[in-house]
Amino acid sequence: MIEVDAVIIGGGIVGASAALFLGKAGRRVALLERDFCGSHSSGVNYGGVRRQGRPLSQLPLSQRAHEIWSQLPQLIGIDGEYQRSGHLKLARSLNDLRALQEYADSSQGFGLDLQVLDRNALRARFPWVGEVAVGASFCPDDGHANPRLVSPAFARAARLQGAQVHEQCAVTAVDHDGQRFRVRTQTGLELRASWLLNCAGAWAGSLAAQFGEPVPMHSGHPAMLVTEPLPLVMDASTGVEGGGIYARQVARGNCVLGGGQGFALDDARARPGQSAVLDILRQAVALYPFLEGAQAIRTWSGTEGYLPDRQPVIGHSRTQPGLLHAFGFAGAGFQIGPAVGQALTEIICSGASTASLDAFSITRFHSISVA
């Protein structure tokens, strides 16, 4: 029997950063991961570390995450290939460019420092962008990092901070005896804690449902691919207004691209799917002409939880005191994850998060039926 202050289910970037910050605050923590920490969405996502384009309600948290990312080596012991390259969001029509301008206007005051570029300014500054782009919005301090390295490093840092990290350790039963949670695992562990953090990503819905608050979450499987190393061309991470292909180039020269949806192989694994891969290979050359003739060497996907409003659930359960949720990041949890871990830590240590979490309450799904 393991007695801790908090049991965290899910060793992705949210759960691992919660374990790290709780450990730093002197709390006894156990982090339970069914597979390996940071091996699912947190580790196989595109690697965008981006504030631009998020709903305004996420920007306070995202801004706090931005501060945390600036301290990454001190926090997790590696730089995680994090670079503040800037994030360039391309517009393929004047309507899209207007939408970017509106976002730049409405996000004033959150510290994003967006620069809206017309066609000429875009060409002058980013000559590698294809003619299909009529303009763009540039966020100079956004960037990208290597999720394969960063997310597991949060778990390692948590362990060094004193958290018990159990990998290959699926949770088989959870209940609450009126005072504390009891958690059992496939490996035969039994844990007790006053706090239970549901950070199980796309698989968090069943725990929420068990405590009487089901959510209409579905899984998404982004299609991703990477090229062989190419001469360094892209000096910003990119996306496209209205969705489409996103791309970045790492220091080694490989370009990482994503776009479209793959499919689930089973409950835990996903593949990018041939049609999404072919779409990327055909369409990317219009946005990034230098890719013509380059080779894609590997494709992959992951499993991400989406709620209908594409906003996460973060904060207290309304049915079970001591239960905190943090899941459903709609493929955009990598940048914000560390700030969510910090907010959960604040709830436990000081009663409330300093950043407002109102927009992310699970209660927004209480009145609707779950499909």
- Measured distance CA(317)–CA(319) in Å, rounded: 5
Using CB under 8 A as the binding rule, whether residue 43 contacts another protein is answered as yes
CA angle (44 as vertex; 42, 47 as ends), nearest 5: 75
Strand partners, 138: 88, 115
Q: Which is nearer to another protein, 36 or 190 (CB)?
A: 36
Judged by CB under 8 A, does residue 277 bind another protein? yes
Which residue is associated with the tokens 């239960």?
A: 323
Among 186, 267, 298, 321, binds another protein (CB under 8 A): 298
For residue 30, the minimal CB distance to another protein (Å) is 17
Kindly state whether residue 148 participates in binding another protein, applying the rule CB under 8 A: yes
Query: Least separation, in Å, of the C-beta of 277 and another protein?
Result: 7
- Say which residues have a Cβ less than 8 Å from residue 297's Cβ, sequence separation at least 6: 226, 227, 228
CA dihedral over 265, 310, 312, 16, signed as positive or negative: positive
What's the CA gap between 96 and 225, in Å, rounded?
Answer: 26
109-117, 146-154, 177-185, 232-240 -> range binding another protein (CB under 8 A) = 146-154
Query: Does residue 300 touch another protein according to CB under 8 A?
Result: yes
Give 243's Cβ-side CA count (13 Å radius): 5
Contact between 274 and another protein per CB under 8 A: yes
Segment 234 to 273, residues that bind another protein, using CB under 8 A? 271-273
Q: What is the phi-psi region of residue 245: left when phi exceeds 0, alpha when psi lies from -120 to 50, beta otherwise?
A: beta
Per CB under 8 A, does 149 bind another protein? yes
Residue 233 contacts another protein per CB under 8 A: no
Of 2 and 285, CB closest to another protein: 285
* Residues within the interface to another protein (CB under 8 A): 36, 39, 43, 148-149, 152, 156, 227-228, 271-274, 277-278, 281-282, 284-285, 291-300
